[in-house]
Chain A
Amino acid sequence: TMATYLEFIQQNEERDGVRFSWNVWPSSRLEATRMVVPLACLLTPLKERPDLPPVQYEPVLCSRPTCKAILNPLCQVDYRAKLWACNFCFQRNQFPPAYAGISEVNQPAELMPQFSTIEYMIQRGAQSPLIFLYVVDTCLEEDDLQALKESLQMSLSLLPPDALVGLITFGRMVQVHELSCEGISKSYVFRGTKDLTAKQIQDMLGLSKTAMPMQQARPAQPQEHPFASSRFLQPVHKIDMNLTDLLGELQRDPWPVTQGKRPLRSTGVALSIAVGLLEGTFPNTGARIMLFTGGPPTQGPGMVVGDELKVPIRSWHDIEKDNARFMKKATKHYEMLANRAATNGHCIDIYACALDQTGLLEMKCCTNLTGGHMVMGDSFNTSLFKQTFQRIFSKDFNGDFRMAFGATLDVKTSRELKIAGAIGPCVSLNVKGPCVSENELGVGGTSQWKICGLDSTSTLGIYFEVVNQHNAPVPQGGRGAIQFVTQYQHASTQRRVRVTTIARNWADAQSQLRHIEAAFDQEAAAVLMARLGVFRAESEEGPDVLRWLDRQLIRLFMFHLRRSPFLQVFNNSPDESSYYRHHFARQDLTQSLIMIQPILYSYSFHGPPEPVLLDSSSILADRILLMDTFFQIVIYLGETIAQWRKAGYQDMPEYENFKHLLQAPLDDAQEILQARFPMPRYINTEHGGSQARFLLSKVNPSQTHNNLYAWGQIPANTFITEFQETGAPILTDDVSLQVFMDHLKKLAVSSAS
């Protein structure tokens, strides 16, 4: 049965984009609670389905106002009476007139079992163009600014011609550029220190004024082409020359920066104006604010650090000591902006390229609540940024952007289940209902979430609660159902609705425990638990979370998760932690697993490349290792290999096989680099290289300097030969997996007794 469940899980994932922790459900609350791992799933709402063209009509809804579930293959249908029964609320519904011709042999697609996931195209309503608002920091070094300008100019050629684009630049002041004007370039300038309300911003940009006479003239259609009036957001095809020139002429912030000071960077006000501008011009329309910044906000609302260079930006240490002066206020500012953007369906991307921190910790909610991208790099003048940025505009099999906007995810459940919450790039829409649980896991208290920006890999963890009482058993063969309804604006600007309806069997945990166990999805469970852990780590204190996780032990994965940057802040800046957590909370299962437990491949003359344990014992002199941590791709040459390369064997015709051996991991790395978003940091290193630390910090320290010495004073000159057979010791005080497991076993036994 193991093989069949694996297949079942895989098929379901491919068809519906769903992975459940349990694929047979314990039929009562009590039993479910005993299972420790909650009933939950990873949902990739817009999983790429080239084989699933959207149907050109609208979904049929259950007529019960509190239900409104969508007709699906699980519904009972009376073809003669043209009635269907809702499988969630059991309401009997009349088919609409257009369905008059249906019969057992002439079923509409949404009733066929293979269309448990189906996509509808909505024809109603005005289509709005894609909107991109660039918010550009000009307090950059000359090289960086030049590289960024070129990337932005390049991006114009990638946008669809009718996409609207806008430009805001900031430094000490914030400039909103008018793009429509000929001749003199014109911008509206705002003080970088003054917080303005949405209304003030709109008044100052003259947005409210132009809207008024239009409404007076045509009260019936105030919404008709509202974007025609905005001088700040113009179709690319109209202004691409203009904007290319404007970007080309962009200068570094001209205000003098004295020695020992940081440039005055008004990121908080710039974002506030960007949010206000879109709020005033395109509410409830998909739009993308793209913030490019090269340093921390240093003035005005949202400032993260003062301009005195002698005062460093906050560290985890400062935060623990409650010594981060600006953190709370800044976080509040960005949260307010993120929530406003989310309300309007706008997403915010942050591209932060600097050697020091840029305030991602404070600004993270902007991306996390709106489904925007967060990209962190050292410089805009790196391939990491350039290629990552280019990848934003990559196209799918249909030639459409891999991005969707303004989605709402609506979840409906059978009566035995309630919704506990969701973890992912979303905000609650606060829709209460009968299927909403009082116990929250993640963002709860609602059955609907807004996801302002998403793509084919955006994945949410959704947590449920079994509410069926133990004394009211589900009848034999009963199934529970969940429907996920995702309404969104497709990159082609159409409104679409994707509906996924799934069902799983109920089982009695006492009599059918084996079934339940067999249908347990260890990988999904690990990721779902890890998401819960990271969610808690974001909102609670560190050690408590670790203790909680330890209690929820899941073998191997949790050992690595415990050491991962998602939970450990040691050696990471607050910005880095925010960055890692951001990506962990949105990637799909496969990528999440890589993040939790990096993959290590070993290349040698002994055979084809093979996956090896992420353990120090895998570091051998005659191997090349390729490690993928999601954020980093590390190629590590063992000592002997490195020596051979140094000797130049790869250039000798008689050692061509060595050349191939060197090349193989490079090719594999390229393959990963091509597909990954964001571009990982690519590290090519060798035994003894300083960058080898990226590998050494990840592997399980089965051999450390501690236990090596303990094995008995091996003379220094025999060290090296010893390692070639047994791997490399790691200079760390971290415990190894073995120690961890021993400790866990001890704990398990003691708590049981």
Chain B
Amino acid sequence: TPLYLVNHGENGPVRCNRCKAYMCPFMQFIEGGRRYQCGFCNCVNDVPPFYFQHLDHMGRRLDHYEKPELSLGSYEFVATLDYCRKNKPPNPPAFIFMIDVSYSNIKNGLVKLICEELKTVLERLPKEEQEETSAIRVGFITYNKVLHFFNVKSNLAQPQMMVVTDVGEVFVPLLDGFLVNYQESQAVIHNLLDQIPEMFADSNENETVFAPVIQAGMEALKAAECPGKLFIFHSSLPTAEAPGKLKNRDDKKLINTDKEKTLFQPQTTGYESLAKDCVAHGCCVTLFLFPNQYVDVASLGLVPQLTGGTLYKYNNFQVQLDSQQFLNDLRSDIEKKIGFDAIMRVRTSTGFRATDFFGGIFMNNTTDVEMAAIDCDKAVTVEFKHDDKLGEDSGALIQCAVLYTTVSGQRRLRIHNLGLNCSSQLADVYKSCETDALINFFAKSAFKAVLHQPLKVIREILVNQTAHMLACYRKNCASPSATSQLILPDSMKVLPVYMNSLLKNCVLLGRPEISTDERAYQRQLVMTMGVADSQLFFYPQLLPIHTLDVKSTALPAAVRCSESRLSEEGIFLLANGLHMFLWLGVSSPPELIQGIFNVPSFAHVNTNMLTIVKQREQPEMLFRQFLVEDKGLYGGSSYVDFLCCVHKEICQLLN
């Protein structure tokens, strides 16, 4: 259900004069309702006349339950012009589709696939619940080493192509007719999408540019004075002479050296300043990559990451095999709920404060979290630190406010409030711990540190922190027992197994068999993940399909990710949110094989589909690395070994 929307008209939301916190259930009304005390900074404010309401005998406003901002944890305000750029109401956002039409993309049919798909998916642009059609305007650019803009104005018989070859200083060659309403220009757009694959059919241009493509999209949004999202479909290292030009600097020899961090850093500083410009203009970049070799994801992915976009990567893309996955990703990415040109502020009551932020964000200062866009799949992880004592009776209050533009161009404020209990008893603290959130935080902070510190040091810190947490519990909360015994708090009993999985992730544990791009990709992916996603990502779900009760809708209980849980007679589905495998035991029941694959036996199953893995066959190696409790094939300890290691650390700490 959508959040309640509070509209105070021209007055705008009521805010504390001192700390600027928004009206929320933590505000205490006093003096008969004429004033209120801020729960965050304790400042006493006058209630604005339009907002005045009498208090009841409990000291609560009579309209307490009528106003979402007084009675609910989350709600939205309609923002006034003060909250808009240049004090002007924003224009509805735009989506710009930018297709790499270099030789390989034409040849493998990708361009045709994208163009075909766009014809249908554009019908489903996100819109406001109550609206008939989407307010989002669309634009199209194709490119190789030069950029082609298209005029798709509804009154044209044919689309018009405008080529911009000045990639060194890219600009927008047209205003009118570039961003259009899809419904109005449908005929011209379909005409264009039909022609694009043919138009470049004879092209043998291999070289591409990349930064100018983003620049062009951003300039187009800037010129149209609207926020928006770029959908870039790209497949190669941008080697053409232009800003952001990259060279192949992949070097596996750097693994396990102090210079390994450079593999995760962008090659040039240009991409970061480009990202900054994008954020400043509300331009979110989503990148679909189709690499056949090293394309330098660390560089190409930087703008998508810092602008709240998503990076998709399809290695060695083949239309027949991989279309479905790509098209599903594309559809859901276009359709998903999204807000633009966002700025987030986290306010806390006294005693603690937000100190660090992780996610698809850009920060120009230490408090304002800027996001070109934020969609329903993106999470920002916030680290809080004490800066004083917290009172047990007042608790710890957090208010997160996100100012953003909706898909129809309305400026809104989304407010989340959270009140947490405080305790002087460590045991209580341990009891309320959530391991999944911890792992999310550790993963993001470690993956952020990857840019600056040697991986070995980061791994040591993670092990050390795990040991510290457990040792602290042992020292302060656990009943006395033999030192040789490992004691885990109930709420943290899965911490070691998750932590071990994190430590074995290819980002933190490099090895030559894993491509540099894949590591950069996973690093970036995790940085925007929410708690549930990261939990699944680090500890995949392993489902014994053979035990599935087809009459019930319930899935079978997941089993632990270890080879010991597999059985020759079983069929198991493994998924981590990114990859999915179907593992077939050599003695899988033929009736199940028949039911799933429509072939008589295990031997007949065609494994051309990448995700099907047969026991004792070569592709099983790939599958095995997801059995995170086992010893890694290329290093990384088993769960048991890790436990021993942590235990040893704890013992050392206790002594």
Shortest Cβ gap from A565 to chain B (Å): 42
Interface residue? B457 (CB, 8 A): no
Name the one of B160, B171, B173 contacting A184, with C-beta atoms under 8 angstroms: B160
Q: What's the minimum C-beta distance from A12 to chain B, rounded to whole angstroms?
A: 55
A205 to B169, CA, bound (A): 15
A185, B176: Cα distance in complex, Å: 16
Question: What sequence of 0s and 1s flags, for each residue 478-490 of chain B, a beta carbon within 8 Å of any chain A beta carbon?
Answer: 0000000000000
Cβ-defined contact, B165 with A185, below 8 A = no
B163 adjacent to A184 (CB under 8 Å)? no
Once the chains bind, are B166 and A187 in contact (CB under 8 Å)? no
- Nearest first, the 4 closest Cβ-Cβ pairs linking A and B are A204-B165, A189-B173, A186-B161, A188-B163
- Does any Cβ of B come within 8 Å of A254's Cβ? yes
A175 part of interface (Cβ distance < 8 Å): yes
Among A185, A188, A191, the residue within 8 A (CB) of B171 is: A191
Asked whether, in the complex, the Cβ of A184 is within 8 Å of the Cβ of B199, the reply is yes
Using CB atoms, name the residue of chain A closest to B164. Answer: A189
Take A183-B195, A184-B199, A254-B174 as given contacts and tell me if A194 and B160 are in contact as well, using a CB distance cutoff of 8 Å: no
Tell me whether A187 and B165 are in contact (CB under 8 A). no
Bits for B136-174, please: 1 = Cβ < 8 Å to A, else 0: 000000000010010000000011111111100101011
Q: Quick check: A254 and B175 within 8 Å, CB to CB?
A: yes
A255 to B158, CA, bound (A): 21
Q: Which residues of B contact A256 (CB under 8 A)?
A: 175
| Chain A residues, Cβ within 8 Å of B175 | 254-256
A205 close to B165 (CB less than 8 A): yes
A165 interface hit (Cβ, 8 Å): no
A350 interfacial by beta-carbon distance below 8 Å? no
Nearest-neighbour CB distance to chain B for A179, whole angstroms, equals: 13
Measured CB to CB, the nearest residue on chain A to B150 is: A184
Is A449 engaged at the interface, CB distance under 8 Å to the other chain?
no
Kindly list chain A residues whose C-beta atoms are within 8 Å of the C-beta of B174.
189, 254
Known pairs A183-B158, A185-B160; list 15 more (Cβ under 8 Å).
Answer: A175-B162, A175-B173, A183-B199, A184-B159, A184-B161, A187-B161, A188-B164, A188-B165, A191-B166, A203-B165, A204-B146, A204-B165, A206-B165, A254-B174, A255-B175
Q: Does B334 make an interface contact (CB < 8 A)?
A: no
Set B149, B169, B177: member contacting A191, Cβ < 8 A:
B169
A-B contact pairs, 7 of them (CB 8 A): A183-B158, A184-B159, A184-B199, A187-B161, A189-B163, A254-B175, A254-B176
Residue from B146, B171, B192 having most chain A Cβ neighbours under 10 A: B171
Q: Is A190 an interface residue (CB 8 A)?
A: yes
By the criterion CB–CB under 8 Å, are A194 and B166 in contact? yes
Assembly CA distance A181 to B160 (angstroms):
11
Q: Which of A183, A189, A254 has the most CB of B within 10 A?
A: A189
Counting CB contacts under 8 A, is A173 at the interface? yes
> Which of B163, B169, B192, B199 contacts A187, CB < 8 Å?
B163
**Docked pose: A205 CA to B158 CA in angstroms:** 23
Contact of B158 among A185, A187, A194, A204 (CB under 8 A): A185
B171-206: which residues lie under 8 A (CB-CB) from chain A?
Answer: 171, 173-177, 192, 195, 199
Question: Is B169's CB under 8 angstroms from A185's CB?
Answer: no
Contact (Cβ within 8 A) A184 B192 = yes
CA distance A194 to B164 in the complex (A): 13
How many Cβ-Cβ contacts under 8 Å join chain A to chain B? Answer: 53
| Chain A positions within 8 Å of B159 at CB level | 184
Least distance between A272 CB and chain B CB atoms (Å)? 13
Interface size class of B (residues with CB under 8 A): 20 to 34
- How far is the CB of B50 from the nearest CB of chain A, in Å? 39
Query: In the complex, what residue of chain B is closest to A190 when comparing beta carbons?
Result: B166
Q: Complex formed: what's the CA distance from A173 to B162 in Å?
A: 11
Chain A residues in 8 Å Cβ range of B149: 189
Set B161, B164, B173: member contacting A185, Cβ < 8 A: B161
A183 to B158, CA, bound (A): 7
CB neighbours of A255 from chain B (8 A): 175
Which A residues lie within 8 Å of B158 (CB)? 183-185
Chain A residue numbers with a CB within 8 Å of B169 are 191, 194
Q: Give bound CA distance, A254 to B153, whole Å.
A: 12
Name the residue on B nearest A175 (C-beta): B162
Residues facing B in A155-196 (CB within 8 A) are: 173, 175, 183-191, 194
Q: State whether A187 and B164 are in contact (beta carbons under 8 Å apart), knowing that A254-B174, A254-B175 are contacts in the complex.
A: no
What are the residues of chain A within 8 A of B171 when measuring CB–CB? Answer: 173, 191
Minimum C-beta distance from A256 to chain B (A):
8
A187 to B159, CA, bound (A): 12
A202-237 contacts to B (CB < 8 Å) = 203-206
B206 to chain A, nearest CB (A): 13
* Chain B residues positioned under 8 Å from A189 (CB to CB): 149, 162-164, 173-174
Chain B: CB-nearest residue to A185:
B160
Bound together, the chains give a CA A194 to CA B169 distance in angstroms of: 10
Q: Which of B162, B165, B177, B192 has the most CB of A within 10 A?
A: B165
What chain B residues lie within 8 Å of A175 (beta carbons)?
Answer: 162, 173
Q: Which residue of A lies closest to B160 (CB)?
A: A185
Chain B minimum-CB-distance residue to A176: B163
Assess whether A204 is in contact with B166, with CB atoms less than 8 Å apart: yes
Cα distance, A191 to B173, chains bound together (Å): 8
Smallest CB separation, A195 vs chain B (Å): 12
Give every chain B residue within 8 A of A194 (Cβ-Cβ).
166, 169
Min CB distance, B239 to chain A, in Å?
A: 16
**Bound complex: CA of A291 vs CA of B199, how far in Å?**
31
CA distance A203 to B166 in the complex (A): 10
A281 nearest CB across to chain B (Å):
16
**Chain A residues near B199 (CB-CB < 8 A):** 183-184
Residues of chain A within 8 A of B177, CB atoms compared: 254
A191–B164 alpha-carbon span in the complex (Å) = 9
Nearest B-chain residue to A255, judged by Cβ = B175
Contact of B195 among A173, A184, A191, A205 (CB under 8 A): A184
Query: Which residues between 349 and 382 of chain A lie within 8 Å of chain B, taking CB atoms?
Result: none
Give the nearest-CB partner of B163 in chain A. Answer: A188
Q: B223's closest neighbor in chain A, by CB? A: A255
Contacts of B173 in A (CB 8 A): 173, 175, 189
Q: Is A187 a contact of B195 with CB atoms below 8 Å?
A: no
What residues of chain A lie closer than 8 Å to B165, measured between beta carbons?
Answer: 188, 203-206
Which chain B residues numbered 587 to 604 have a C-beta less than 8 Å away from chain A?
Answer: none
Considering the chains assembled together, what is the distance between the CA atoms of A203 and B163 in angstroms? 13
